Amino acid sequence: MNGPIMTDHPALEISGLSHRFGARLALDQVSLRVGRGEFTALLGPNGAGKTTLFSIITRLYSNRSGRVSIFGHNLQHEPSAALAEIGVVFQTRTLDLDLTVRQNLAYHASLHGMGGRAATERIEYLLERTGLSSRAKDKVRTLSGGQARRIEIARSLIHAPRLLLLDEATVGLDLASRADIVRIVRNLVRDEGLSVLWATHIFDEVEEDDSVYVLHHGKIIMQGRAGDIAGQAGHVTLADAFRALTEDANQETSR
């Protein structure tokens, strides 16, 4: 048990977070917020610091400055309670290719202390939500890239977390598979009130009403609703605004 549910805190709140790898400053005073039941996009090019940020949120790295809070649980002071609320899909694929789809999910359920009927029902539900019930007995190596990614999303939700982190979840997929992944995640936000932090460099995965943070060289250089950012930057599209913002940031860095 994680104690009483806190209803007055956002799903994720990060304040003044910095991180170094030796002399290199990978994150510089990053602050962001993911509201409950909200799809929030973290938009940035490769190398912007998105994966480093996710590694800190999931405790793969420890933060020495700043604060990370998940549904009101301070990550440093209450790591177990905070991490219990998180599901994560990293860019690197980690499914066991020689196990079946159901075996992969059952193994992950066991890591969370789930077994028996509860695990079986949860697995069947998630297979249905991701549209892969018919592939449950197939080995993962027989799946397409998009299907494997959908199973990774199902696996991340086994323990019913309230916050889902996805780091470049559609990388390497074709257009149709990308659209399927985005649709599945947005449906979970709509139907189940799931909170999502979606890290991407692909503009068409972001919708006009999404809350967006633009990350570049480890800094948040703009934030707001996707539909407003372009106008604030003096451009018609989010893609044009992003290019202008990152070019400006590059010029500032080089001075």
Tokens of 220: 């948040």
- Please give the Cα distance from 123 to 128 (Å, whole number): 9
Residue with token string 């800094």 = 219
User: What is the pLDDT tens value at each position of the chain, 255 positions in all?
Assistant: 444 444 579 999 999 999 999 999 999 999 999 999 999 999 999 899 999 999 999 999 988 799 999 999 999 999 999 999 999 999 888 999 999 999 999 999 999 999 999 999 999 999 999 999 999 999 999 999 999 999 999 999 999 999 999 999 999 999 999 999 999 999 999 999 999 999 999 989 999 899 999 999 999 999 999 988 877 766 667 777 777 777 755 655 545
pTM of the model: 0.90
State which amino acid sits at residue 17: L
Contact criterion met (CB below 8 Å) for 170 and 202: yes
pLDDT of residue 31: 98
pLDDT per position as a tens digit, 154-193: 999 999 999 999 999 999 999 999 999 999 999 999 999 9
Task: Assess contact for 35 and 11: CB atoms under 8 A.
Answer: yes
What is the distance of C-alpha 40 from the center of its chain? 9
Residue count of the chain: 255
Residue ranges of domains in the chain, CATH in brackets: 95-160 (1.20.1580.10)
- Residue 248's pLDDT is 58
Structure token digits, residue 215: 């990350």
DSSP state string for the chain = ---SPPSSS-SEEEEEEEEEETTEEEEEEEEEEE-TT-EEEEE--TTSSHHHHHHHHTTSS--SEEEEEETTEETTT-HHHHHTTEEEE-SS----TTSBHHHHHHHHHHHTT--HHHHHHHHHHHHHHTT-GGGTTSBGGGS-HHHHHHHHHHHHTTT--SEEEEESTTTT--HHHHHHHHHHHHHHHHHH--EEEEEES-GGGS-TTSEEEEEETTEEEEEEEHHHHHHHTT-SSHHHHHHHHHHHHHHHHH-
